[in-house]
Amino acid sequence: MALLLPFILWAVAAVAQSNDSVFDFPEFPPAGTPDPNATLGNSAAPLPYNVYEDPGLAQARIHYDTGSFGPTIELVHAYYNYWPIGVGVASDGSVFTTFPRGNETYTLATFTSTTTEAPWPNQEWNTPPAFANASNPGYSIVTDKLLFVQSVVVDGLDRVWALDTGRPEVNGSYLLAAVPGGPKLVGFYLNGTNFATYTFPASVVYADSSINDVRFDLRGEGYAYITDSSPNRPGLVVVNLATGQSWRHLDGHQSVTPDNGFVPVYDGVPFYLYPVTAPYAVNNFGLYAVDGIALSPDGQYLYFAPLASRQFWRIPTSYLKVEPGPDHPAAYLLAKQAVEHLGESGSNADGMETDSSGYIYAGAPEHNAVTRYNPATGIVEPFIRDPAIQWPDTLSVATLQSGGSYVYFTSNQLWLGPNYQNGTDLRTRPWAMFRAPIEAQKATQLA
Ligand SMILES: *[C@@H]1O[C@H](CO)[C@@H](O)[C@H](O)[C@H]1NC(C)=O
Ligand SMILES: *[C@@H]1O[C@H](CO)[C@@H](O)[C@H](O)[C@H]1NC(C)=O
Ligand SMILES: *[C@@H]1O[C@H](CO)[C@@H](O)[C@H](O)[C@H]1NC(C)=O
Ligand SMILES: *[C@@H]1O[C@H](CO)[C@@H](O)[C@H](O)[C@H]1NC(C)=O
Ligand SMILES: *[C@@H]1O[C@H](CO)[C@@H](O)[C@H](O)[C@H]1NC(C)=O
Ligand SMILES: *[C@@H]1O[C@H](CO)[C@@H](O)[C@H](O)[C@H]1NC(C)=O
Ligand SMILES: *[C@@H]1O[C@H](CO)[C@@H](O)[C@H](O)[C@H]1NC(C)=O
């Protein structure tokens, strides 16, 4: 090392004299990168366990991970009844939430207090005539009522959209297959009046599809982008909101497909999947395809990631808006070729969300954290981390009329549920919803 010192001094001197040097790096860290002191989750203190008679050891301040950084998370809601997945928050502070449905009496709800929920818009909407199709065993039914609402999103006009998979769970973990007219995208005004319902042909949302999450671009005709996280045929579904036409893109592409060897780490424990289905084999957490989704505030890029993967992807929406078919025979291939790989994000992500400044927030269940991708720097930055964040499932950014903008998220201990633990429920009630303040606003996607 000592021998190199004269060379280093020479190099520093050279930089000071010229801007032409290869050492003339652009500003680093790039503008907008948070001050490390704002995000560093570390401290130093004498170890709280063991008593050391040796005074040197007793006083040694040992560096450790506090497990938290960023703005303090605020507990918004404690769920004592049903197990939550989705969240959408309106500007008046109304919170909408979803429950996967087996025998639950409702699947879409709103908060009625900090610890209670009620069906929304009402019980009638949450009461289909049946779950199982009497004439078609293993399948669910056609109904305008809500079967299994996976995702609820409040759009830039403060309207509430429910994404219904059409595949209720029966007898524990067995998902019924969908029939066209079961899976649907249902729009409500804040007062609960239904203003639109989009269903899908069997060639767009398959019987074994799992439509998972949705984002809206309300510019022009308007589009909805939906992830299909089916392990069998993952892809994206695009809906033209003006015509009701829908089509698929990216079927089977690497960007929507799980990494088969993926072994995430939750609370420090490498996680293998113990499925309840026969033959009770232990698997990698490899079944789960494209899930989280976010639309850049200008509507130009759709960001997404498979759940069983740390890979992070985006595509220019201009390719997705073209319906493959005789008029555009190349559209399907061109869209696959336009996918951009953004590399690893450091964790798998379930929910994703956008704000008006362009940050793409992503749940980071492997780190009890929410991170955010800065498209200006290409860096995934730390945002919030806390030991109480136990699987951030779905994210929703809201700008409240009463002041402030927040990212809301459910924390639902997903990986501890019986479907993932060979039938044993390791979760602890209540499940939580948290929020944390952000600097920017909700991205309205209107103009
Ligand atoms: C190098 O460029 C920077 C930014 O343009 C400027 O501020 C600085 O004075 C330049 N240094 C030299 C030695 O020319
Ligand atoms: C960051 O924290 C370190 C250690 O506490 C301190 O020495 C340093 O001045 C801080 N830097 C800033 C920019 O606040
Ligand atoms: C049951 O499934 C069949 C075949 O897919 C379908 O035609 C029928 O409408 C379904 N029944 C109900 C009640 O939805
Ligand atoms: C659920 O299980 C019960 C009892 O095993 C069975 O009778 C019923 O058909 C099952 N329901 C469906 C929809 O598979
Ligand atoms: C609903 O199903 C779950 C899981 O099978 C069971 O624990 C619970 O008791 C059931 N609730 C009702 C009201 O049947
Ligand atoms: C609900 O809100 C919509 C949109 O603001 C409005 O057109 C409709 O009249 C309202 N319905 C009721 C019953 O208040
Ligand atoms: C999962 O549960 C089944 C049924 O109880 C049992 O036979 C099997 O050994 C369990 N598998 C693991 C990996 O624990």
Ligand 3 binding site (Cβ under 6 Å of any ligand atom):
133, 135-136, 139, 141-142, 179
By most ligand atoms within 8 Å of CB, the mutation choice from 170, 173, 175, 277 for ligand 4 is: 170
Compute, in angstroms, the gap from residue 214 CA to the centroid of ligand 6: 24
Compute the distance between CA of residue 109 and CA of residue 146 in angstroms, rounded to an integer: 11
| 219 contacts 299 by C-beta, under 8 angstroms | yes
- pLDDT-derived band at 12 (thresholds 50, 70, 90) equals very low
HEC secondary structure over 89-127: ECCCCCEEEECCCCCCCCCEEEECCCCCEEECCCCCCCC
**Is residue 34 predicted with pLDDT exceeding 80?**
no
Question: Residue 6's pLDDT is what?
Answer: 40
- pLDDT-derived band at 174 (thresholds 50, 70, 90) equals confident
- pLDDT-derived band at 206 (thresholds 50, 70, 90) equals very high
**Is residue 170 predicted with pLDDT exceeding 90?**
no
Compute the distance between CA of residue 243 and CA of residue 363 in angstroms, rounded to an integer: 33
Pocket lining: 105 vs ligand 5, CB cutoff 6 Å: no
CATH 2.120.10.30 fits 76-437, yes or no: yes
Q: Calculate mean pLDDT across residues 132-146.
A: 96
Question: DSSP secondary structure string, 56-96?
Answer: HHHH--EEEE-S-BSSPPEEEEEESSSPP--EEE-TTS-EE
Question: Residue 31's pLDDT is what?
Answer: 56
Compute, in angstroms, the gap from residue 436 CA to the centroid of ligand 2: 24
Q: What is the pLDDT of residues 208-233, one digit of tens each?
A: 999 999 999 999 999 999 999 998 89
- If one counts every other C-beta atom within 10 angstroms of the C-beta of residue 151, the result is 26
Q: Which stretch of 17-26, 139-148, 192-201 has the lowest confidence by average pLDDT?
A: 17-26
Question: Residue 16's pLDDT is what?
Answer: 45
Kindly state the tokens that stand for 306: 């498979």
- If one counts every other C-beta atom within 10 angstroms of the C-beta of residue 26, the result is 6
Burial class of 347 by CB neighbour count within 10 A (0 to 12, 13 to 18, 19+): buried
* pLDDT greater at residue 52 or residue 140: 140
Question: Residue 48's pLDDT is what?
Answer: 79
**Is residue 15 predicted with pLDDT exceeding 50?**
no
From the CA of 35, which ligand is nearest? Answer: 2
- pLDDT-derived band at 11 (thresholds 50, 70, 90) equals very low
Question: Any residues with CB less than 8 A from the CB of 33 and at least 6 apart, and which?
Answer: 374, 377, 379, 381
Question: Residue 40's pLDDT is what?
Answer: 64
**Is residue 111 predicted with pLDDT exceeding 90?**
yes
